Amino acid sequence: MKIINAENNMKISSAPDVWLAGDPEDLKQWMDKGVKGIVTNTVVLKELTDKYGSIIDLTKRYLDITNKKIAIEIDGHSTNELLDVGEAFTKLSERIILKIPMSEHALGAFTELKKANIETFCTTIFTLNQAVLAANAGVDHVLPFCEPFIDVDKDPTELIREIKATFNQWENRPFITAALVRSVSTAQKAILDGADGIIIFWPIFQQMIKSKLTDEWNNTFLENWDSIYNEGNLKGINYKPKN
Residues 143, 222, single domain; the answer is no
Confidence label for 6 from pLDDT (cuts 50, 70 and 90): very low
pLDDT at 115: 97
Q: How far is CA 237 from the centre of its chain?
A: 38
Confirm whether 9 is domain-assigned: no
Residues 89, 21, single domain; the answer is yes
User: Is the predicted pLDDT of residue 148 greater than 50, yes or no?
Assistant: yes
pLDDT at 71: 98
Residues 218, 131, single domain; the answer is no
Distances (CA, A) of 204 to 21, 65, 143, 185: 10, 20, 18, 10
Please tell me the number of Cα atoms within 13 Å of 224 on its side-chain side. 5
| Host H or E run for residue 158 | helix 158-167
Taking the chain, what is the end-to-end CA distance rounded to the nearest angstrom?
A: 51
User: Is the predicted pLDDT of residue 79 greater than 60, yes or no?
Assistant: yes
pLDDT at 14: 73
| Full domain range(s) for residue 230 | 211-243
The helix/strand/coil state of 100 is: strand
**Total domains, the chain:** 2
Task: Give the tens place of pLDDT for each residue, 47-57.
Answer: 999 999 999 99
Residue 135 contacts residue 111 (beta carbons within 8 Å): no
Please, what is the angle between helix 128-137 and helix 104-115, to 10°? 30
More confident residue, 33 or 243: 33
Residues 131, 150, single domain; the answer is yes
Residues 217, 138, single domain; the answer is no
Residues 39, 140, single domain; the answer is yes
Confirm whether 1 is domain-assigned: no
- Mean pLDDT score across all residues of the chain: 93
| Count of H-run helices and E-run strands, the chain | 11, 8
Residues 153, 203, single domain; the answer is yes
Whether the model clears a pTM of 0.75, i.e. scores above it, the answer is yes
Output the domain CATH number for residue 18: 3.20.20.70
pLDDT at 151: 87
Confirm whether 112 is domain-assigned: yes
Euclidean distance between CA atoms 48 and 25, whole angstroms: 11
User: Is the predicted pLDDT of residue 30 greater than 70, yes or no?
Assistant: yes
pLDDT at 9: 44
Task: Give the tens place of pLDDT for each residue, 162-220.
Answer: 999 999 888 889 999 999 999 999 999 999 999 999 999 999 999 999 999 999 999 99
